[in-house]
Amino acid sequence: MDEFYVHTATVEMFLGQSGYGEDKFAPPVAVPCFADGARKLVRGGDGAQIVSESTLYTYPIYAPLFASDSRVTLNGAESRVIKLATLDSGALDLPDHIAINLT
């Protein structure tokens, strides 16, 4: 899958808010990925429909970094994680990956 992941995104995992209401993030981590810029309608964690401006695909080991509201920077554009989907091939033994919908 290395040849498929031609982009690199910087992910700062959302840690919550400070006592002053400011968002707190973990240090940035560079993640190899494939970025699909197609806009689509997705459901957020609360079930509301949200327009996703792009979707990232990468290895499942990076899933913990992509908590809801984590900050993702790709090609200078900053966005937030709407939701993550784990795409597991099961018994087919195909490459497993995750899909991350971004604002």
Distances (CA, A) of 33 to 7, 9, 14, 16, 64: 5, 7, 19, 25, 15
- Domain regions of the chain by residue span: 7-102
- Give the model's pLDDT for residue 78: 95
- Give the model's pLDDT for residue 59: 95
- Give the model's pLDDT for residue 12: 97
pLDDT digits (tens), the chain, 103 positions: 678 899 999 999 999 999 999 999 999 999 999 999 889 988 887 888 999 999 999 999 999 999 999 999 998 999 999 999 988 887 888 888 999 999 9
Q: Residue 99's Cα: distance from chain center in Å?
A: 7
Q: For residues 80 and 103, is the Cβ–Cβ distance under 8 A?
A: yes
3-class secondary structure, 22: coil
pTM reported for the whole predicted model: 0.88
The CATH class, in words, for 7-102 is mainly beta
